[in-house]
Structure 1
Amino acid sequence: MNNLDFSLDAARRLDRDDPLAEWRAAFHIPPGPDGSDCLYFTGNSLGLQPRRVREMLQEELDDWARLGVQGHTEARRPWMPYHENFTELNARLVGAKPHEVVQMNSLTVNLHLMMVSFYRPTAERPAILIEKPAFPSDRHAAASQIRFHGFDPERDLIEIGPREGEANIRPDDLMALIEEEGHRIALVLLPGVQYYSGQVFDMAGIARAAQAKGAKVGFDLAHAAGNIPLQLHDWGVDFAAWCSYKYLNGGPGAIAGCFVHERHAEDESLPRFAGWWGHDKSSRFRMGPEFHPIAGAEGWQLSNPPILSMTPVLASLQIFDEVGMEALREKSLKLSDTLLAWLDERLAEEVEVITPRNEQERGCQLSLRLKQGDGRQVFEALEDNGVICDWRYPDVIRIAPVPLYNRFEDLYHFVGRLDKAIKG
């Protein structure tokens, strides 16, 4: 980007030239203490509500009132095949074929369901590789799967973290560990984007390296879906799962998404936990005792879709499809480049950005660490001054300017308020 001095005029000039500026009006922006829009930078934790959600939810409520049980086939968006509304949208969002994706459950439930099928440990190959620090739910899930199979997480949960004094995992260190320990790794389970540092992982390279050693590869895309471009099919990962309430703006606790590569689509020998919604559609309602899974990701479904929970996700995914990930990524990089430049200009002595500077290794989120002073106190001062970001122990303020509703002017005001919060 062009070097722009830190000024309100520069910020507003960028906003005037922004081809996605109109999309901000498609979202509800919470008010700040003075009644004006707050500075909302937690799309990496809970995205904002699309305005179209209310109307779409009301349509479902009206159809329920008008049709009762017949809504399963007669509603404007019939409920029985409701999850199919997401198929093409998710396929384009994560770079998959339509039969490789499905909307179901919550993120950790999906990770467990995937590990039932793809974590098949043996005495010679019992280990799961995760990052350190992993998001706690992922670590709990992986450790519990290891115990469930009779192995010991103290020995068989392999963790890779940054080197001493560094904030990010070196790609060469990760590849070296896969090469060294690959003979005993049954599953590599890593994030697409690391929740604490904001580091983006080379998913294609990891998949190639780990699969060459005989391991299965899965990704938690909680901080990647709707944030960075994904090509899950081409990258060849075995499975992936993601939540929909962060960048995807699906609402608190929104129903999650899941990917299973097509090479597993018709493999009925894979063990799985089964439920009737994963059963072959043509014979599902014959109510027979035998389970015949749908070919593809839908075959991992357990239950019929929760309509009122899925509707907000559908409303938001329609927006993503209308805008396109390429345009969103372009603006996202301009936002983060601008914020990095202005932090360097105004607060280089006070703030360290631990997120990688390389554009290929970061998404929307920048993780900030104070070089001196009480970071938690600064975070609370920001909140008091109408800045909604988030704090992650022990010492990081996470800020995620997202391209659908954040402006360059938001960044200008954030830097000014951060300066004030640090210097009192």
Structure 2
Amino acid sequence: MPNLNFEFTEEFALKMDQNDPLRSYRDQFYFPKVNGRDALYFCGNSLGLQPKSVKTYLEKELENWANLAVDGHFEGEDAWMYVRQKSKPALAQILGAHPHEVVAMNNLTSNLHFLLVSFYQPKGERTKILCEAGAFPSDQYALESQVKFHGLDPEETIVELAPRAGEHILRTEDILAKVKEIGSSLALVMMGGIQYYSGQLFDMKDITAAAHGVGAYCGFDLAHAAGNAPLKLHNWGVDFATWCSYKYLNSGPGNISGIFVHERFADDQSLPRFAGWWGHDEGQRFLMEKGFIPMHGADGWQLANSNILALAAHQASLDLFAQAGMEQLRAKSEKLTGYLEFLIDEISGNSGILEIITPRTASERGCQLSLLIHKGGKAVFDSWYAHGVVGDWRNPNVIRLAPTPMYNSFLDVYRFGKILEQSLHDFA
């Protein structure tokens, strides 16, 4: 993106914050402290900050439990039997979906396994899975075990696509060409929406279309994309997706995941799935009879009843997203990340200490910049932390920084720039 006449001055950063329509949201989060001072927190890609409203949302459910006990399932403003419905409008907005295509449930890797039961059904020559090389370990392990479950060899069945020699990101044309090359042998394309290490935002629309063009399903792990990048899962025709809520969705450590299943499968009982009581037809659930009848849409992939306290914390954050709106968050994100990129380039110059490996085009990334450290290694990261910068170290030599639009400021980014400036002298 153009640099918008960015300046490496405190005055500029303060002016940008003053004109930020989302500036008030920063005050709705708790910031951790490093050495007694509020941290410069750029780690929302690993764990989002706690909304101050979470305590109130949790206390409300604790009171319902105390005062209603088992009757809380059917009584009260948010009867537990139906409380999953409350998160659907915000999730639909964030994912670019219809409410019946999304549901909050389980955890990400569990959901991925349940979705693969439905959408990875190798038959005949159509057995291959295409994913990006260096996918997040959970995805790798899930795919390996699913392939073995079907009696196949992961080394022969899973095709991992790596960037070209000397490059850090996958070219879209290479992904599409590989899909076409595998062709009738391809059963599934399963990738991260944003590559966790490089920060690359994949072209999910074109990848999905390519997969469908050769008769394969297409799904995405949106752990680093949900609440971060603009998503239009329904319009793109994505078959399925799952995500976690504890990164950009700020819902608490290890908190609830969610799934998307395109509406063309909403009532498709021919798809195999692992069934559970909570996915059964809501109108007949308490008849307690044999014979699973899935609920309409994504709800039909549920197994167990809802985790009420997890959903309460989740809702506290989702309500903030509904108020702020993804369009405004994305607009700020592009400016904020662009400012961080500008400062890194301006300050590091030709020092040779670090290199941005995340795409330079705003439409090809979220708010994360991954910095390849060429000199100093983890000592650079430790030095930044000592000065209050909370980022994320990934072996062997990458620091990930995520200026998150919901709560980070331009002044945060400017202050990081001053720390970076000093560290360049220390590690030159």
Q: TM-score range by the shorter chain?
A: over 0.9
1:143-292 paired onto structure 2 within 5 Å: 143-292=144-293
Number of aligned residue pairs: 422
Alignment partner, residue 410 of structure 1: 412
Q: Could you say what the CA RMSD is over the residues aligned between the two structures, in angstroms? A: 1.0
Match of 2:73 in 1: 72
Counterpart check, 1:55 vs 2:49:
no
Q: Deviations over 1:279-334 (max 9, x none)?
A: 00000000001110001100000000010111111110111011100000000000
Retained in 2: the 8 A contact 1:378–1:418?
Answer: no
User: For 1:341-367, what per-residue CA distance to the aligned partner results, in whole angstroms no more than 9, with x for missing partners?
Assistant: 111111122321100001110110000
Which amino acid is 2:407 matched to?
Y
Report how far residue 82 of structure 1 moved.
1.3
Spell out the pairing of 1:317-332 with structure 2 (5 A cutoff).
317-332=318-333
Cα offset, 1:381, TM superposition = 1.1
Q: Which residue of 2 aligns with 1:300?
A: 301
| Kept in 2: contact 1:44–1:223 (CA 8 A) | yes
Q: Is the 8 A contact 1:243 1:255 kept in 2?
A: yes
- What is the letter of the counterpart of residue 335 of structure 1? L
Alignment match, 2:362: 359
How far did residue 262 of structure 1 move? 0.6
Would the aligned equivalents of 1:336 and 1:401 in 2 still touch at CA under 8 Å? yes
**Alpha-carbon displacement from aligned partner over 1:98-132 (angstroms, at most 9, x marks no partner):** 11111100011111111000101023011111101
Consecutive unaligned residues in structure 1, runs of 5 or more: none
Matched residue type, 1:10: F
- Residue 191 of structure 1 deviates from its aligned partner by 1.0
Q: Which residue of 2 aligns with 1:28?
A: 30
TM, length-normalised to structure 1: 0.98
Q: 1:400 is matched by which residue type in structure 2?
A: A
The residue correspondences of 1:92-131 to structure 2 (distance < 5 A) are 92-131=93-132
Match of 2:19 among 6, 17, 31: 17
SS of the equivalent of 1:391 reads strand
Q: Distance in 1 between matches of 2:7 and 2:226?
A: 32
1:129–1:159 contact (8 Å) kept in structure 2: yes
Give the deviation of 1:370 after TM superposition: 2.2
* Structure 1 position 45 matched with structure 2 position 46: yes
Distance in 1 (alpha carbons) for counterparts of 2:334 and 2:383: 27
Deviation string for 1:6-42 (max 9, x for gaps)? 1111111111111111110011111221x33110000
Structure 2 residue matching 1:74: 3-state secondary structure = coil
Mapping of residues 375-414 of structure 1, within 5 Å: 375-414=377-416
Q: Determine whether 1:6 maps to 2:8.
A: yes
- Tell me if the contact between 2:238 and 2:262 (Cα under 8 Å) persists in the aligned partners: yes
Using the alignment, how far apart are the partners of 1:192 and 1:348 within structure 2? 31
Gaps (5+ residues) in structure 2? none
Q: Which amino acid aligns with 1:85?
A: K
Distance of 1:375 and 1:84 partners within structure 2: 47
Question: What code does the residue aligned with 1:173 have?
Answer: D
Deviation of the 1:85 alpha carbon: 0.8
